[in-house]
């Protein structure tokens, strides 16, 4: 199963390094993973990978963010990460079965991820 949220520090090899970088490193890493999933889907469909400053805004805003804002980020990013993981898993399964993912499904997933990243970006742009 594909997922972007570590189950525990023991299952996430990069967590000790991320913790050394600061308390927001896991949050930034999660957002970067979601953006990589979007870039993968965009490139698969023949588009250029979109560019965003969402990770930089998150990294800059996280240390001063209220606990409520951090919880909102956690909820939004978990939802978008789940959509990315499910979409990529379905596309991979489809390809393994010898079928190409439907173009409308690819477009829908691109929109879903872009909207989710935009929502996170907006949260830390305010």
Residues of the chain with pLDDT below 50 are 1, 11, 14-20
Percent of the chain with pLDDT over 70: 81
Domain ranges of the chain: 15-123
**pTM recorded for the entire structure:** 0.76
pLDDT, tens only, 100-122? 888 999 999 999 999 999 999 99
CB atoms under 10 Å from CB of 90, counted, come to 14
Report the C-alpha gap between 49 and 54 in whole angstroms: 14
Secondary structure (DSSP) of 48-103: PPP---HHHHHHHHGGG--HHHHHHHHHHHHHHHHHHHHHHHHHHHHHHTT-PPPH
pLDDT at 116: 93
The Cα–Cα gap between 42 and 45 comes to 5
């Amino acid at each position: 199963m594909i997922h972007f949220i570590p189950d525990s520090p023991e299952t996430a090899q990069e967590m000790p390094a991320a913790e050394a970088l600061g308390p927001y490193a896991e949050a930034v890493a999660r957002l970067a993973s979601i953006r990589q999933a979007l870039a993968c889907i965009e490139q698969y469909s023949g588009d250029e990978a979109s560019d965003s400053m969402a990770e930089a805004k998150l990294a800059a805003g996280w240390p001063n963010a209220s606990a409520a804002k951090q919880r909102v980020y956690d909820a939004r990013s978990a939802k978008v990460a789940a959509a990315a993981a499910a979409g990529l898993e379905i596309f991979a399964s489809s390809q393994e079965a010898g079928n190409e993912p439907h173009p409308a499904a690819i477009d829908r997933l691109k929109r879903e991820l872009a909207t989710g990243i935009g929502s996170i970006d907006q949260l830390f742009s305010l």
